Amino acid sequence: MNRSKRWWWQVIIVIGLLTVMGILINNLAVNLIRTGLGLSFDWLWRPAGFALSEHPLPYQSSDSTAWALLMGWLNSLRVIFAGIVLATLLGVSTGAARRSLNPLLRQIAALYVGFIRQIPLLLQLLFWYFVAFLGLPSEPFAPLGAVIHLSNQGISLLGVTLSVEFAAVLLGLSVFTGASIAEVVRGGLDSVPRGQWEAFRSLGMTEGLGLRRIVLPQALPAILPALSSQYLNLAKNSTLAIAVGYADLYAVSDTTITQTGRAIEGFLLLLLSFLLLNLLINGGMQLLNRAVLRSQHHH
């Protein structure tokens, strides 16, 4: 195909895409008029009229709906970022354990990954919440002295009190995503030539040191892209929190949508909030990716 023909094709595709988008937007507008809805965001500034069980900033039911939604968003952020940290720790150590010299460690890691990845996340969340945490006695008990106090009313870890809802979502998301991250890490480690392992072992380096200094840095470029999709998955999966009573963004939106009847606006805001959140995560991971690639070029 010659150059001018290729150019025409691009124009046609762009026009086609614009037409489809135009029709979809027109559909939305016409249907909104037909059902007498029309877009409006006034309700955001009216009093929310419902209480929240947890809120990182001061909140009461007479505050605006927008503020209630922000509390939900912060609750989501809290559990997502804590989840990312915990899932990464769990995933990296499990991934490394699967390539360990210790057969018991290898077996345990394989069992964890195999088992967790076969069960739907929602079921796991329900298990952690209704069976594991709500099954605790209602009077606090301290299995490890002052470090942790457990009860089905809340968990106190080194003086920080967490609700059982938060703990269940955090643990559920981390354990589930950790198993996938473990596979990503294992894949990354396998992409490093075997010679590198043999080399550090023959130099007398310990397994841990060799992994940290020699293998992992070389595996990172293979790990990072897949890792960021796991992080995005974790963020999106956090909306399942409503099943176990955690007041995340989705749960708060759900309440405001039924109280105001503004479903389309509510879902638009939800969409935008998650887009923003995921762009943040994605941006962070890209920076990291670039930094890693640059440092590799220096070597």
Partner 1 sequence: MKVRLLALPLVSFLFILNGCATLGEGGASRLDLIKRRTELRCGVSGKIPGFSFLQRDGSFAGLDVDICRAFAAAFTGSPDQVQYRSLTAPERFTALRTGEIDLLSRNTTFNLSRDAAGGNGVSFAPVVFHDGQGLLVKRSSGISNLNNLKGKTICVGSGTTTEQNLNDAFQAKGIDYKPIKYQDLNQVIAGYLQGRCSAMTSDRSQLAAARSGFNNPDQHVILPEVLSKEPLAPLAAGGDQRLADAMRWVIYALIAAEELGITQENIGNKLAEAQSRPQLTQLRRFLGVEADLGQKLGLNNDFIVKVIQAVGNYGEIYDRHLGPKSAVPIPRGLNNLYSNGGILTSPPFQ
Residue ranges in contact with partner 1 by CB under 8 A: 16, 19-20, 23-24, 26-27, 30-31, 33-36, 49-53, 61, 130, 134-135, 138, 152-153, 164-165, 242-245, 247, 251, 254-255, 257-259, 261, 263
Kindly tell me which of 23 and 147 has the beta carbon lying closer to partner 1.
23
What is the closest distance, in whole angstroms, from the C-beta atom of residue 48 to partner 1 in the complex? 9
Min dist CB 4 to partner 1, Å, is: 15
CB 141, min distance to partner 1, A: 15
Nearest approach, Cβ of residue 87 and partner 1 (Å)? 24
Work out the burial of residue 258: count CB atoms within 10 Å of its CB; fewer than 13 is exposed, 13-18 middle, 19 or more buried: exposed
> Rounded to the nearest whole angstrom, what is the least distance from the CB of residue 175 to partner 1 in the complex?
21
Closest CA to 239 of 226, 258, 253: 253
Which residue number, 38 or 159, has a Cβ lying nearer to partner 1? 38
Q: How far is the CB of 42 from partner 1 (least distance, A)?
A: 11
DSSP percent split of the chain into helix, strand, coil, nearest 5: 75, 5, 20
Q: 69 vs 189, which CB is nearer to partner 1?
A: 69
* 228/260 with CB nearer partner 1: 260
What is the DSSP track for 250-261?
Answer: HHHHHHHHHHH-
Burial group, residue 140, by CB count within 10 angstroms (0-12, 13-18, 19+): middle
| CA–CA separation, 66 and 48 (whole Å) | 8
C-beta closer to partner 1: residue 36 or 195 = 36
Burial class, 230, CB count within 10 angstroms (exposed 0-12 / middle 13-18 / buried 19+) = buried
| Shorter beta-carbon distance to partner 1: residue 89 or 122 | 122
Q: Cα–Cα distance between 44 and 209 in angstroms, integer?
A: 54
Residue 173 makes CB contacts below 8 A (sequence gap 6+) with 79, 80, 83, 87, 121, 125, 234, 237, 238
Q: Is 148 helix (H, G, I), strand (E, B) or coil?
A: strand
